[in-house]
Amino acid sequence: MKVEEITGTEAVIAQEKKYGAHNYSPLPVVLTKGEGVYLWDIEGKRYYDFLSAYSAVNQGHCHPKIIGAMTDQASRLSLTSRAFYNDKLGDAEELVCKQFGYDKALFMNSGSEAVETAIKLVRKWGYTKKGIAPNTAIILAAERNFHGRTTGIISFSTDPSSTDGFGPANPGYKVIPFNDIETLEKELISHPQICGFLVEPIQGEAGVLIPHDGYLKKAHELCIKYNVKLITDEIQTGIGRTGKMLASYYDDVRADILIVGKALSGGVLPVSAVMCDDEIMMCIKPGEHGSTFGGNPVAAAVTIASIEVMLEEKLTENAFAMGMIFRERMNDLKAKYPNLISAVRGRGLLNAVDIIPSETYGSASNVCLMLMEKGLLCKATHKHTIRFSPPLVITEGQMLECCDLIANVIASI
Ligand SMILES: Cc1ncc(COP(=O)(O)O)c(C=O)c1O
């Protein structure tokens, strides 16, 4: 099928099915335009976006300041590689280091690459500073984690769909239950070769699982006690998504190594970064790690604009306030339909509603299809959970309209 013959939704989907890998199961909607909280499909129908490209579009679709920074920089200088300096990267590094309170930043592209970078950094620190015997370092991770899709990262995934058929797993990882301080301490006592504990402050892909208050703080205290670095993966939870600039701030934690991505670029480019202090970052020497595109001038310009938009428009504060409204309304729905909704949870605008499966309406993904019909796009994560994560620019009026829309769909089933 030639591109020019494609006119309708079905044709586009058929083309993708024919020529693209089947590694996702998208909703049957073909999008062509986005602005703020809205998306439009090729038939001209408008939707509210309640996924934000898995929390990458926190600043809203096609934010003029971010797009302006990108096009301006792209027309001047797009890529130098880091064989040379460029006149934008330093500004972005300084901005994020000052914003998040670290000595240094290392820019990469995808979130997975940043997680791999953090793994390399903490291992190098473990060998050169902690004195771990060569090639014996262990990194702890939490059950039900999601840190990306590389073969290194899936080596410590507990999700069979991430791992089955992709082995052998890499050694050097140990998985412990999430939100379990006692097991963490037991492992730290038993294995002095542990160099890092990698954890999501809220497990997004697992279904927006929030640990108990103080978990991260206690985990960090233990890491300090046993000379282990706490690595927080804030790729999904960071940049205002949970109603604070970082979800770790709910526990007053400044991780030893911070990983951000997704909304660091406002969702216009793959941009990620790892931040830490010199004690860790300076363990890596020239030639030991890098990326052709990591820290390119366009990524740097977009990062600066994206962080500025977050601050200028007070999007973190808005996420906090809009999240309160959303959960209040969803809890009302849960009280009204206890046989349909079993749980509502979240922080800021990273929220989940658990749907009790039934013969009549099926599972959470069927409810997503019904919401799509009514003009709201969201996605099920695992079988029973719908994640609701709109761009942080959503207004109160829009949020109330969306809550009504969800309530109407729930009432109709
Ligand atoms: C917590 C977390 N870490 C890492 C990743 C991987 O990021 P990317 O898809 O950009 O590689 C994701 C993506 O959803 C994520 O949510």
Tell me the average pLDDT across 286-313.
98
- Please give the distance, rounded to the nearest whole angstrom, from the Cα atom of residue 156 to the centre of ligand 1: 14
Which atom number of ligand 1 is nearest to the Cα of residue 153? 4
289 C-alpha to ligand 1 centroid (Å): 20
Q: Examine the pLDDT at 17 and tell me if it is beyond 60.
A: yes
- Residue 2's nearest CA partner among 12, 259, 10, 332 is 12
| Over residues 230-243, mean pLDDT | 98
Angle between helices 297-312 and 64-76 (to 10 degrees): 160
The pLDDT tens digits for 184-219 are 999 999 999 999 999 999 999 999 999 999 999 999
Angstrom distance (rounded) from CA 397 to CA 413: 25
Given ligand 1 and candidates 117, 151, 258, 262, which is best to mutate, with the most ligand atoms within 8 Å of its CB? 262
Instruction: Name the residue of 235, 237, 269, 291 whose CB sits within 8 Å of the most ligand 1 atoms, as the mutation to test its pocket.
Output: 235
67 CA from centroid of ligand 1 (Å):
23
Q: Which residues are catalytic?
A: 146, 233, 262
257: number of Cβ within 10 Å: 24
Give the pLDDT of residue 6. 57
Cβ count within 10 A of residue 171: 10
Q: How far apart are CA 352 and CA 302, in angstroms?
A: 29
Query: For the whole model, what pTM was predicted?
Result: 0.97
CA angle 363, 18, 55 (to 5 degrees): 50
Q: Which residues, other chains included, contact 7 with Cβ-Cβ below 8 Å and sequence gap of 6+?
A: none
In the reported structure, the alpha carbon of residue 245 is separated from the centroid of ligand 1 by a whole-number distance in angstroms of: 17
Kindly give the distance from the C-alpha atom of residue 53 to the centroid of ligand 1, in angstroms, as a whole number. Answer: 11
Atom of ligand 1 nearest to the CA of 145: 1
Residue 115 CA, closest ligand 1 atom number: 4
Q: Ligand 1: which of 54, 112, 381 to mutate, most ligand atoms within 8 Å of CB?
A: 112
Write down the pLDDT at residue 2. 57
Q: What is the pLDDT of residues 83-142, one digit of tens each?
A: 999 999 999 999 999 999 999 999 999 999 999 999 999 999 999 999 999 999 999 999
Nearest protein CA to atom 8 of ligand 1, as residue:
111
Pocket residues: Cβ below 6 A from ligand 1: 54, 110-112, 115, 146-148, 200, 204-205, 233, 235-236, 261
- pLDDT tens-digit series, residues 144-180: 999 999 999 999 999 999 999 999 999 999 999 999 9
Q: Report in angstroms the alpha-carbon separations of 223 from 114, 181, 188, 195.
A: 21, 11, 8, 9
Per-residue pLDDT averaged across 230-252, rounded?
A: 98
Q: What is the pLDDT of residue 387?
A: 97
Q: Quick one: which atom of ligand 1 is closest to the CA of 54?
A: 14
Q: Cα of 47 to ligand 1 centre, how many Å?
A: 24
**Atom of ligand 1 at shortest range from CA of 203:** 1
Residue type at position 108: M
Distances from the Cα of 61 to the Cαs of 12, 36, 221, 254, in angstroms? 22, 5, 39, 30
Closest CA to 383 of 15, 69, 25, 6: 25
Encoded tokens for 343: 């749980």
Are the CB atoms for 327 and 343 separated by under 8 Å?
Answer: no
- Residue nearest to ligand 1 atom 10, measured at CA: 111
